[in-house]
A and B are shown apart, each in its own frame.
Chain A
Amino acid sequence: MLNLDLANQIKAKFGDLISEPAEFRGEVTVKIADAEKIVEVCEFAKAKLGFIYLVDISSIDNYGEDPRWTVVYHLRAIVNGAEIRLKTDVSEEKSELPTVLGVWATANWHEREIYDMMGIRFSGHPDLRRILMWEGYPYFPLRKDFPLAGKPTNVPDVAFTKVTPLEGGPFVTLPSSDDAIAREPRVRVPENAEPGISDKRLVGNQLK
Chain B
Amino acid sequence: MQTQSEIGYNSKIEGDVVITRIDAALAWFRKNSVWPMPMGLACCGIELMAVGASRFDISRFGSEVMRFSPRQSDCMIVAGTVTYKMAGYVKRIYDQMPEPKWVIAMGACASTGGMYRSYAVLQGVDNIIPVDVYISGCPPRPEAVLDALVKIQNQIGTEPILSKMNVVAQLTGAAKS
CA distance A169 to B121 in the complex (A): 16
* Cβ B117 vs Cβ A165 within 8 A: yes
* Cβ B119 vs Cβ A141 within 8 A: yes
* Cβ B118 vs Cβ A159 within 8 A: no
CA distance A24 to B147 in the complex (A): 54
CA distance A150 to B113 in the complex (A): 14
| Complex contacts, B113 vs chain A, CB 8 Å | 164
Nearest-CB distance from A51 to chain B (Å)? 33
Nearest-CB distance from A8 to chain B (Å)? 42
Name which residue of chain A comes closest to B87, CB basis. Answer: A159
* Cβ A148 vs Cβ B88 within 8 A: no
CA distance A159 to B86 in the complex (A): 8
Among A157, A161, A167, the residue within 8 A (CB) of B119 is A161
* Cβ B120 vs Cβ A141 within 8 A: yes
CA distance A149 to B120 in the complex (A): 9
| Complex contacts, B117 vs chain A, CB 8 Å | 148-149, 164-167, 169-171
Which B97-128 residues sit within 8 Å CB-CB of chain A?
113, 117-121, 123, 127
| Complex contacts, A151 vs chain B, CB 8 Å | 119
CA distance A170 to B118 in the complex (A): 10
Name which residue of chain B comes closest to A157, CB basis. Answer: B88
A63 close to chain B: CB less than 8 A = no
B68 close to chain A: CB less than 8 A = no
Interface centre among B88, B113, B118, B119 (most CB of A within 10 A): B119
Q: On chain B, which size bracket covers the interface?
A: 10 to 19
* Cβ A150 vs Cβ B119 within 8 A: yes
Interface string of B67-87 (1 = CB under 8 A from A): 000000000000000001101
CA distance A158 to B88 in the complex (A): 7
| Complex contacts, A162 vs chain B, CB 8 Å | 123, 127
Nearest-CB distance from B117 to chain A (Å)? 5
Nearest-CB distance from B128 to chain A (Å)? 10
CA distance A157 to B127 in the complex (A): 16
Nearest-CB distance from B104 to chain A (Å)? 23
* Cβ A150 vs Cβ B118 within 8 A: yes
Interface centre among B88, B113, B121 (most CB of A within 10 A): B88
CA distance A137 to B119 in the complex (A): 12
CA distance A169 to B117 in the complex (A): 9
Which A141-180 residues sit within 8 Å CB-CB of chain B?
141, 146-151, 157-162, 164-167, 169-171
Name which residue of chain B comes closest to A151, CB basis. Answer: B119
* Cβ B88 vs Cβ A165 within 8 A: no
CA distance A166 to B120 in the complex (A): 13
CA distance A170 to B115 in the complex (A): 11
Which A10-51 residues sit within 8 Å CB-CB of chain B?
none
CA distance A141 to B119 in the complex (A): 8
Nearest-CB distance from A41 to chain B (Å)? 34
Nearest-CB distance from A119 to chain B (Å)? 14
| Complex contacts, A159 vs chain B, CB 8 Å | 84-85, 87-88
Among B85, B88, B121, B123, the residue within 8 A (CB) of A133 is B85
Q: Which 7 residue pairs spanning A and B have beta carbons closest together?
A: A150-B119, A161-B84, A159-B84, A141-B119, A164-B117, A159-B85, A166-B117
What are 30 sample pairs from A and B whose C-beta atoms fall under 8 A apart?
Answer: A132-B85, A132-B120, A134-B85, A141-B119, A146-B119, A148-B118, A149-B117, A149-B118, A149-B119, A150-B120, A157-B88, A158-B88, A159-B84, A159-B85, A159-B87, A159-B88, A160-B84, A160-B87, A161-B120, A162-B127, A164-B113, A164-B117, A164-B118, A164-B121, A164-B123, A165-B117, A165-B123, A169-B117, A170-B117, A171-B117
